Structure 1
């Protein structure tokens, strides 16, 4: 589910969704547990909010830092639902972030992770033009499918597991 544009209204919507999905008491929002999950190669990734298979990350933490497929696969295996806040408009100047986001979406898609996000634009307008926009079209297609009833009704995990 995609909430646009970034801002208080979108943040409040994903916050309500988080508490609804986890049954965590909203009045205790300052004490939501975090976690560290193992990543291939002995590394770990910090999950700022982690309750009952639901994780919350900022786009900056997931896609502006040096990350790879192993990080995103570890998240996809450990969480059935991921909330990403603060997805900006992407373009040639954010090509590295866009590339990481594509890898993240592929990992989540293959593991049927449910994605909730706050973003500056809907998926079709997230990478509006410039070098790399064409390559981003498959990601847009996957993001749109990930909002479909069939996808949302599918169980978590890859078909290979």
Structure 2
């Protein structure tokens, strides 16, 4: 029933600033209904830690999920374990953080395929997140998916 609260609600907050942080916190409070606990997902013999989890809703910063050497199996396991992911502080991506950008693409693909609802704060709109470097063409699909995932009825 908590996912019904997302109908018509903003799910992509930009830029990352005090206002978007406050909005993300308000969404967490509304959906999760309190403080979360760490979620540990066991993948191929190792643990993947998600900083906050409550009522099917997970919350993590971009670097907690994309700044570490995680792969498709990790993101698929995460997508199976949750219904909503709140992802904070997505930076602009490019040559300087190419590995993080590739992981982000893989994360979005896993969430998209599993119909996990994404609520996030980002430095720029989806089409402006990755403007230079190898992989810009491939990122267009990710930007498109990010837009689609913002639709009111997405994931239902």
After TM superposition, the score normalised by the length of structure 2 is 0.89
Q: 2:112 aligns with which of 106, 109, 112?
A: 109
Report what 2:140 is aligned to.
Answer: 137
Report what 2:78 is aligned to.
Answer: 75
Report what 2:21 is aligned to.
Answer: 11
- Detail structure 1 runs of 4+ shifted over 3 Å in the superposition: none
| Aligned counterparts of 1:80 and 1:38: Cα–Cα separation in 2 | 18
| Aligned counterparts of 1:149 and 1:7: Cα–Cα separation in 2 | 24
Structure 2 unpaired stretches of 5+: 1-10
CA RMSD after TM alignment: 1.1
| Aligned counterparts of 2:82 and 2:68: Cα–Cα separation in 1 | 20
| Aligned counterparts of 2:45 and 2:134: Cα–Cα separation in 1 | 35
In the alignment of these two chains, the number of paired residues is: 146
Q: 2:47 aligns with which of 17, 38, 44?
A: 44
| Aligned counterparts of 1:92 and 1:99: Cα–Cα separation in 2 | 11
In the TM superposition, residue 103 of structure 1 has moved relative to its aligned partner by 0.4
| Aligned counterparts of 2:77 and 2:88: Cα–Cα separation in 1 | 19
After TM superposition, the score normalised by the length of structure 1 is 0.86
